[in-house]
Structure 1
Amino acid sequence: MILNSDSMKPIYIQISEWLETEILRANLKEEERIYSQYQLAEMFNINPATAAKGLNILVDENIAFKKRGLGLFVSSDAKKFILHKRRSQVLNQMIKELVLEAKQLDVKKTELMDLIEKACEEIEGDKE
């Protein structure tokens, strides 16, 4: 992965998201040791404090845990936490954008709900 220094997203967030993706892809498994802040700093040519900030996000969200003197490890429920977080963030953002667009187009709430229901029916029909 190459970090995007031009992104609006801070580098430490990009680091945490990259590590989450590595967990989702099973490149980092449950109870497995995660890269140290110094390894990440060297890998991505960034300040170790920035890497540490990204790692701390994972700890704060129970995706990783610290073993004193040994480093950071992937928690047993990491994948579940990441999936829940990403689903809620992505869907919430998409829904907010949809509602905003509907408001700008003067689409009433009931009409929007009908459109959503119809889309769900179409998708379910496609599965059959």
Structure 2
Amino acid sequence: MQFEFNSSEPIYHQVAEQIEDAIASGGFEEGAQIPSTTEISKEFHINPATVLKGMNIAVSKQLIEKRRGLGMFVKSGARQRILEAKRDGFFDAFIVNLVREARNLNISEEALLDLVKRGYNQ
């Protein structure tokens, strides 16, 4: 985990994103326990309440769950939910604009697909 303390993004959002990224990359596998609030706050010198707020975001997204007396664990299906959300975001942020710009430049669907394939081969 890495945090940018000078960033305009709140630390608790960064905590939630770091947990999400670790799940998506397989760093935290489904069913596995993640580091505790105390462990993260001590290691990175972050207020425990801030870490907990970030963890609660991950809980609200159904990525991790609290097990009383045991800690936080990655929920089943969490990685798939993250990847689907990232794919949707990718589509909205990049593909829609790519297609719009291709149309503006009179690039056909077939020509656009050829350009994408060329990009993959580079």
**In which range does the TM-score fall when normalised by the shorter chain?**
0.7 to 0.9
Any stretches of 5+ residues in structure 2 without a counterpart? Answer: none
Number of paired residues?
Answer: 119
Q: Distance in 1 between matches of 2:89 and 2:59?
A: 19
Distance 1:72 1:84, change over 3 A: same
SS in 1 for 2:79: helix
Distance 1:127 1:90, change over 3 A: closer
Any stretches of 5+ residues in structure 1 without a counterpart? Answer: none
The higher relative CO (CA closer than 8 Å, separation ≥ 6) is in 2
Distance 1:94 1:125, change over 3 A: closer
* Structure 1 match to 2:40: 40
Aligned-pair CA distance for 1:124? 4.0
CA deviations 1:55-107 (Å, max 9, x no partner) are 011110111111122111001101011112222234323357x38xx7xxxx7
Are 1:119 and 2:112 matched, yes or no?
yes
Q: Distance in 2 between matches of 1:95 and 1:127?
A: 15
Report the TM-score when normalising by structure 2. 0.79
Give the letter for the 1:2 counterpart. Answer: Q
Measured on the aligned residues, the alpha-carbon RMSD in Å equals 2.8
Report the TM-score when normalising by structure 1. 0.75
Q: Distance in 2 between matches of 1:82 and 1:40?
A: 22
